[in-house]
Amino acid sequence: MTWAVVARKDFADARRSRSLWVLSALFLLLAVLFASIYAFVPEVSADPELDSVGLLGFLASPVALFVAVAALVVAYKSVAGETESGSGKLLLSLPNSRRDVLLGKVLGRTSVLALPVLVGLVAMLAVIFVGDVAFAPVDYVLFALVTLLFVAAYVALYVGISASTTSTSRAATLSVLVLVVLEFVWDFVTISVWFVLNGFRVPDGLFTADLAAMPELVAFLSTLPPSTAYMNAVSGVLQNSLTGAGAWYLSNWFGLVVLVLWAIVPAAIGYRRYSRADL
């Protein structure tokens, strides 16, 4: 079991890449910008009382999009790139199993992306104190933990894709496709399913996206993308209401389960293909 060795090597390598620094700067900018908008533009926050819980709720959506895209940049080449360039031969000539490589990559690249996210969250504290926003430390830590799980889920997804092919260009294409489907097209998918289930007639509440009017299956489908699962989990954690209304699989805590599944299933499929491939 040398996955920790691989992860450390991978982190040491990626740490020196320019893209990590660009990402860190971007996330820092994003976090401070959104925090400042929340703290200093009352029209936006719409909260009578500014507190860090409100801020984090406000922040979850841009964070989700940032992580979805940044994880792609950080991870799409992780395994396929090593295979394609030949550095994978160094990695696997040593007593590292292919499972060690995959686990190490997930861990290493998760750390790479977790670093700027944590730096951003810490930097935001400055805005919170300057802007006189009430600070709830426990919620802040919980938000950070859920965000780290979300980072791990997206990184593992892209590492899984990267492991399923030996070509970086194919890994890039697949990753972008998956990103677009999960982040931008998914609403259309659920609406289509709803439309079909409704006997090809426009159901009531389709255009208002009225969750209450949705059949449970459709509602469940809509909660599946990692970002939605993350938002659900965040609002559950921040509002201390993990249960929520409706079926158990529609509750907020199920968002955590969905995130864990995203962190495991695609990587497992990628591992299966990787473990059988001629390198």
Residue whose CB is less far from another protein, 107 or 128: 107
Per-residue contact string for residues 30-69; x = within reach of another protein by CB under 8 A: ----------------------------------------
Q: Residues 79, 274: contact at Cβ < 8 Å?
A: yes
Task: Output the smallest distance, CB 87 to another protein, in A.
Answer: 4
The answer to whether residue 279 forms part of the interface with another protein (CB under 8 A) is yes
Of 92 and 144, the one with the shorter C-beta distance to another protein is: 92
Cβ–Cβ under 8 Å, residues 101 and 91: yes
196 binds another protein (CB under 8 A): no
Q: Which is nearer to another protein, 23 or 127 (CB)?
A: 23
* CB atoms inside a 10 Å sphere around CB 265: 13
CB of 82 to another protein, least distance (A): 9
Q: Which residues between 11 and 30 bind another protein (CB under 8 A)?
A: 12-13, 16-17
User: Could you give the 3-state DSSP secondary structure of residue 17?
Assistant: coil
One symbol per residue from 91 to 110: x for binding another protein (CB under 8 A), - otherwise; what is it?
-xxxxxx-------------
Q: Give the tokens for residue 233.
A: 């989990």
CB of 98 to another protein, least distance (A): 9
Q: How far apart are CA 124 and CA 135, in angstroms?
A: 11
Instruction: Give helix 226-238 / helix 253-276 axis angle, nearest 10°.
Output: 150
Taking the C-alpha atoms of residue 148 and residue 85, their distance in angstroms, rounded to an integer, is 30
DSSP per residue over 149-173, as a string? HHHHHHHHHHHHHHHT-S-HHHHHH
5 lies in the binding site for another protein (CB under 8 A): yes
Find the binder of another protein among 48, 49, 86, 199 (CB under 8 A): 86
Q: Is 2 in the site for another protein (CB under 8 A)?
A: yes
Q: Which is nearer to another protein, 92 or 257 (CB)?
A: 92
Q: Is 90 in the site for another protein (CB under 8 A)?
A: yes
Give the nearer residue to another protein in terms of CB position, either 85 or 192: 85
Amino acid of residue 137: P
Q: Which of 137, 127, 129 is nearest to 31 (CA)?
A: 127
Determine, following the binding rule CB under 8 A, whether residue 137 of this chain makes contact with another protein. Answer: no
φ, ψ (nearest 5 deg) of residue 134: -60, 135
Q: Which amino acid would we find at residue 138?
A: V
Stretch that binds another protein, among 21-29, 81-89, 162-170, 259-267 (CB under 8 A): 81-89
* Residue 271 near residue 102, CB atoms below 8 Å: yes
Tokens of 135: 């600070």
Q: From the CB of 196, what's the least distance to another protein, in Å?
A: 41
Other beta carbons within 10 Å of 157: 27
Would you tell me which residues interact with another protein (CB under 8 A)? 2, 5-6, 8-9, 12-13, 16-17, 85-87, 89-90, 92-97, 276, 278-279
